[in-house]
Amino acid sequence: MRPQGYILSGGKSLRFGSDKARHKTNSQSLIENLDDKLSHWTSHKSIAVADRPDKYLDLNIPTIADIHPDAGPLAGLHAALTHAQNSAELNWIMLISCDMTELKPDWLDILWNHAQQTENALTIHFLEKDSETSDNRLHPFPGLYHISLIPIIEAQLTNQQRSFYKLFKQLDQNCHSLPIPADWPEIPQINTPQESEVWRKTQTE
């Protein structure tokens, strides 16, 4: 059995200019493509987390609303975990964002296999190391998140701390970072129309 999958799609897409989840890449929108892939991997219909519960009804994607409106992606994670706590059979969820350019089953397998082999992890995600600068970049999506995080995230949101990275830092050894896969895309997420155009060209070359 694999965990329930959730797609964060509650952002205002200000830099994109329109709902980027609905941005067409080929015959499908970003969120439809990701929903197909995530649902196939989990064997459950994935669920979007947005600002209202009917946002993707026309796309046949079940949607739940943020419990803490306008509080960023961390509030979306909180809503997903709360929903899973009441309905899912496992204590983990697989979380992705609606603007991801790629989602491969092998990546999700890596995360899920690690979760099954460790006892102290509360989050499992990928870490990108820059060989030139020695900087590390955490990638919250895709990521596995445990429902026991709910009170921790509630405390952060109450204190107006909306950063995933503050959550990861607070968790310390309970936050597990794995090396990004070798086939990780050069543009993992789309934030602007310009990024979308650059990414589209990489797909046709």
- Give the model's confidence band at 14: pLDDT under 50 very low, under 70 low, under 90 confident, else very high: low
Asked if the model's pLDDT at residue 13 lies above 80, the reply is no
Per-residue pLDDT tens over the stretch 183-201: 999 889 888 778 777 777 7
> Domain containing 135 — which CATH number?
3.90.550.10
Could you report the per-residue pLDDT of 78-116, keeping only the tens digit for each? 999 999 998 767 899 999 999 999 999 999 999 999 999
| Distances, alpha carbon 109 to alpha carbons 3, 105, 119, 203, in Å | 11, 6, 17, 24
- Minimum mean pLDDT range among 3-12, 93-102, 113-122, 146-155: 3-12
Q: Report the C-alpha gap between 103 and 28 in whole angstroms.
A: 14
Only one residue has tokens 């994607």, namely 61
SS3 assignment, position 95: strand
Total count of domains within the chain: 1
Q: Is the pLDDT of residue 165 over 80?
A: yes
Q: Which residues have a Cβ under 8 Å from the Cβ of 53 and sit 6 or more positions away?
A: 63, 64, 65
Note if the bond before 142 is cis, omega within 30 degrees.
yes
Tokens of residue 93, six digits: 């969820």
Convert the pLDDT of each residue in 35-82 to its tens digit. Answer: 999 999 999 999 999 999 999 999 999 999 999 998 999 999 999 999
| pLDDT value for 132 | 60
Domain range holding 54? Answer: 4-204
